[in-house]
Amino acid sequence: AGPGAATLGFGATISAARARWLACDGGITRIVLGPEGQPLDVGRTHRVVPRHLRRAVEARDGGCVFAGCHAPAHWCDVHHLVHWADGGETSLENSGLLCERH
Ligand SMILES: [Zn+2]
């Protein structure tokens, strides 16, 4: 909870940190609302980490890149090293495999 918190589709409130973590491996759809709350523009859903990029990151990293962790690639998600919300690009250079623990 707090000023940076987000609300999930079913009403649960999550922290800003958790929202950033989910956004790193999710899909993003821009929805522009009018003054009465009606949707004016529903943009295309954009997969943040496309499949071909995940395969490239898996080939490079092999598994979780956190120091001392040996979690295999299939336990990991691709995350932005410089977070997308902070201007980080969705690119091989700015991506790394991290297990859910890290
Ligand atoms: Zn790990």
- What separation in Å is there between the alpha carbon of 7 and the centre of ligand 1? 27
Span of 34-38, 43-47, 92-96 with lowest mean pLDDT: 43-47
CA of 13 to the centre of ligand 1 (A): 26
Q: Is the pLDDT of residue 1 over 90?
A: no
For residue 62, the CA-to-ligand 1 centroid distance in Å is: 12
CA 81–ligand 1 middle distance (angstroms): 14
The pLDDT value given to residue 73: 95
DSSP single-letter state for residue 86: G
Q: What is the mean pLDDT of residues 83-101?
A: 86
How far does the centroid of ligand 1 lie from the alpha carbon of residue 36, in Å? 45
User: How far is the C-alpha of 73 from the C-alpha of 57, rounded, in Å?
Assistant: 9
Place of tokens 């496309």: 50
Domain ranges of the chain: 6-99
Question: Ligand 1 centre and the CA of 73: distance in Å?
Answer: 10
Q: Which two tokens stand for residue 41?
A: 């523009």
pLDDT at 47 over 60: no
